[in-house]
Chain A
Amino acid sequence: MKEVFAAISKDFETFGTIEKEGEVIFDKVNDFEHISEKRSRYAPKEFLIKRNENVLLLEEQTRRAVFGVKSCDLKGFYQMDKQILGKDPFYTERREKTLFVNFVCNEPCDGGFCTSFGGPILDQYDLQVLRDGKDYHIMVSDKFKEYFNDYREEGDSFFSRFSESFNSKMDVLPVDGLEGRMKWNSGLWKEFASRCISCGACNFSCPTCYCFDLYDDENERKREWDSCILSGFTSSSAGNVRKDLDERLRQRFYHKYVYFKKSKGEYLCTGCNRCVEDCPVGIDIKEVITHDYSIE
């Protein structure tokens, strides 16, 4: 891996997961040893969608390689692609110039439910790394084959065996058919709303959320990460038609588990559990999946 890292760092500005005051964050890295395998504190969305930037000027981006992304977080980008790749020029420019190296988790994390959406072995990736003791097994996309000319090729069997064993360690939530089960008038939404403080954590932590707001700042026009939980969301067009908080929370869950499924064929959720971890009032998206709507 060291050599692969060295080769990649010749062509890319290299970033990776490092530990800082006990927290795993993304920063510039110069050697492979400093990269942490632990799950990062957040999904590294800011590599493709900056938290705040001037949109009057799109500069050519440098090529960046990001090591240590977890599969659940990386999967978010492939889901975003379906919606904004080729449409959002800022996202597209960065997406095309960024190489993600996802580290597959060896063990399930607390609270995560990725196996409900396929588990940590992804079928789309740049470089997918699975450590087995001292050895690394790597799945490489065609785009980056050049870095692996000198390495032995093995079949997919290691990955599929791993996947089977990993997935057997976690309970799979009943996501199938959720788009038909969820209820518009469920009491869940109002109960969530009674606790929610509109902090936006669920959006900001979500590896699949990409919405932003536009505003003018003197001679610049900027965009900034936005949250659909806020009443002013989309106010730059018609304004938020969802007047009450319970309606806005419901919209978020319906977007993830109903509308995206119906329009794009998959759920807009990777099971990362980040929205649950960052929610200050304990709203658990898993409850949306497991709730018994039939009794309402």
Chain B
Amino acid sequence: MAGRKRTLEAISFELVMSVIAMIALVIIIAPSLVVLVVSFTSGFSLRFPPQGYSLRWYAELWDAWQLHFAAKNSLVVALWATGLSILLGVAAALAISRSRTLSARLLDSLFMSPLVLPALAFGLAALMLFSLVGLPVSPLTLVIGHTVVCVPYVVRNTVAALAQLEPTLLESSAVLGASRFYTFRRIVLPLIRPGIIAGAFIAFMSSFDNVPVSLFLRDAATDMLPIRMWQDLEGKLDVTIAALSGVLIIATVALVAIMERVTGLSRRLTN
């Protein structure tokens, strides 16, 4: 009797948890699928399901020079910000990762703080400072601002990769007569490279998608893709944006698949 009761009780628990988990997973994935389907509509509205299917909005996208221009700007800024983040972030991660000192922990908190502080407030603050020192907003100020909010991802993932590194490897290398630089180049770097790549990838994606910092630090001539899309959506519901969203979703899926192969991204983010 008691055993039977317990199983019923166990079944009710498993059922409730599984059903909520399924609903949650559907809620997570559904919006992207909906946009993908709607982007192939042959009509002018964003009805789901569409009345008919076509590639016309993707063809329209081909000629949307404003979006091309904005996409190019976003890409260039994201590449520069990612490069700068790798350069500054990996060096900083090497310094703070194996140190237990107070200054290392303080620096770690400082480098991570852009992740929790409102980026819009930082964007405004940076704009005020730049205008105070007489530096006009430009692609340069965009790269600087983006680097501040993207570098934490590189630091965090590199620190995590360094924490997995066996210290005896470094000692053996030193005992065998290798210089510190040689050890770094031949032992440390190859082992932490996947971590650096994973961090750089997330940094790149978040720069490419950044609105709050770009909003304040771009000049009128530098249109950025997410801002362009946002403003288009505020005005009218354009199906071209659905096609562009489709392109971005497919590109993201492809990049994540590559990153999963190269760096084991999913394990990195749950450990």
The yes or no verdict on A and B being binding partners is no
Binding site for A on B (CB under 8 A): none
- A residues neighboring B (CB under 8 Å): none
